[in-house]
Amino acid sequence: MEIASQLLPSVLEIAARAGEHLKEFYRCEVKVRTKADNTPVTEADLFLSRFLIEQLSTLSPHLPVLSEENCDIPLERRRHWPSYWLIDPIDGTRQFINRTDQFSVMISLVCAHQPLLGVIHAPILGKTYYAVQGKGAFLQTDSGLRSLTPARSAPGHLIRIAVGSSDENKIQQSLRSPYNPDFIRYGSSGLKAGLVAEGCADCYVRLGNTGEWDTAAAEVILKETGGDIFDLHFQPLSYNLRESLVNPYFVMGSAGFNWKNVFQFDSL
């Protein structure tokens, strides 16, 4: 825990430098190709992956780095890592390509299969969410630094749900009576989690594939605000315990709700 706290200032600096590189790429056209999983990757993703791996390896030479763009590492090798860096160089590559501004750099430190440190840096939006387990969660903006605290303790029946572009119907069918949704369409996974941590959304529901790098940093931040992340069986997510690095579908929920009373996912 103390090691994570000691590393945090350096990680924030690395994330900020990565964000400056990302701004440079954002000012011009970038080359895009499609990966085997049918998701896009740009030259910016690949450059930032190399940059973050280099910087984090220099910061802590004894810790491996697992990146979305360098993740073809079998479990038999990964399972022996007691601690490692888990990164998403650009969380929201589609948003980056579509120039929505709603994308981020995500860095997390995972120890004993649990994220202990998380940083989500959105350079165009000028926002950085960060947390270390047990030390609180924070949001840095151009206006200053503020602590993120549980935002809603007495929920009504309108649930503000951060979503992607195509999940609304399935989510609405999964809501128990008398709850009703107010859907908020927003950018990358990390930034939707940020809406929950800030209290701008009550939950973020993902009914599509993501990687462990999409949730680790957000999980630390969210839990430090009293929230939680769980799969559709209301079980916690895991890290570096399976051959596949693909997450199950999940909910990131804020404090103040009994989510089992809100959602019923039996039909999914």
**Domain hosting residue 131, numbered range:** 2-148
36 and 120 belong to one structural domain:
yes
Q: Mark whether 8 and 140 lie in a shared domain.
A: yes
Question: Which residue from 211, 219, 249, 250 is spatially nearest to 73, judged by alpha carbons?
Answer: 211
pLDDT at residue 257 tops 60: yes
Neighbours of 16 (CB within 10 A): 15
> Which residues make beta-bridge pairs with 250?
206, 231
Query: Is the domain of 129 the same as that of 198?
Result: no
In a domain, 222, yes or no: yes
Whether 257 maps to a domain, the answer reads: yes
Question: Where in 137-224 does DSSP place strands (E)?
Answer: 137-141, 144-148, 158-163, 180-185, 203-206
Same domain, 39 and 84: yes
Q: Are residues 126 and 219 in the same domain?
A: no
For residue 16, give the CATH number of its domain. Answer: 3.30.540.10
Query: What mean pLDDT do residues 192-200 have?
Result: 95
Structural domain total, the chain = 2
What is the structure's pLDDT at 35?
84
Does residue 25 sit within a domain?
Answer: yes
| 38 domain residue, yes or no | yes
Q: Model-level pTM?
A: 0.95
Examine residue 267 and state whether it is found in any structural domain, yes or no: no
Tell me the two tokens of residue 218.
């957000």
Residue 39: which pLDDT band, with cuts at 50, 70 and 90?
Answer: confident
Place 121 in a pLDDT band, splitting at 50, 70 and 90: very high
More confident residue, 1 or 237: 237
Same domain, 219 and 104: no
- CA atoms of 12 and 31, how far apart (whole Å): 28
13 and 121: one domain? yes
Binding site listing for substrate: 68, 90-93, 214
Q: Which of 111, 152, 151 is nearest to 132 (CA)?
A: 111
Domain boundary among 107, 126, 148: 148
Q: Are residues 103 and 139 in the same domain?
A: yes
Largest CA distance in the chain: 53
pLDDT surpasses 90 at 154: no
Please determine, for residue 33, whether its predicted confidence score (pLDDT) is greater than 70. yes
CB of 181 closer than 8 Å to CB of 251: no
Q: What is the CATH number of the domain that holds 200?
A: 3.40.190.80
Residue positions forming the annotated binding site for Mg(2+): 68, 88, 90-91, 214
Query: Is there a contact between 91 and 214 (Cβ–Cβ < 8 Å)?
Result: yes
**Residue 115 shares a structural domain with residue 165:** no
Share of residues in the chain with pLDDT > 90 (%) = 84
| Residue 38 pLDDT class (50, 70, 90 cuts) | confident
The pLDDT score that the predictor gives to residue 251 is 97
**Sequence ranges of the binding site:** 68, 88, 90-93, 214
pLDDT at 1 (0 to 100): 60
pLDDT at residue 156 in the model:
74
Would you list the DSSP string of 42-106? Answer: EHHHHHHHHHHHHHHHHH-TTS-EEETTB----HHHHTT-SEEEEEEEEETHHHHHHT-S--EEE
Find the mean pLDDT for residues 134-156. 84
Q: What is the pLDDT of residues 1-13, one digit of tens each?
A: 678 889 999 999 9
Least confident window among 29-33, 141-145, 251-255: 29-33
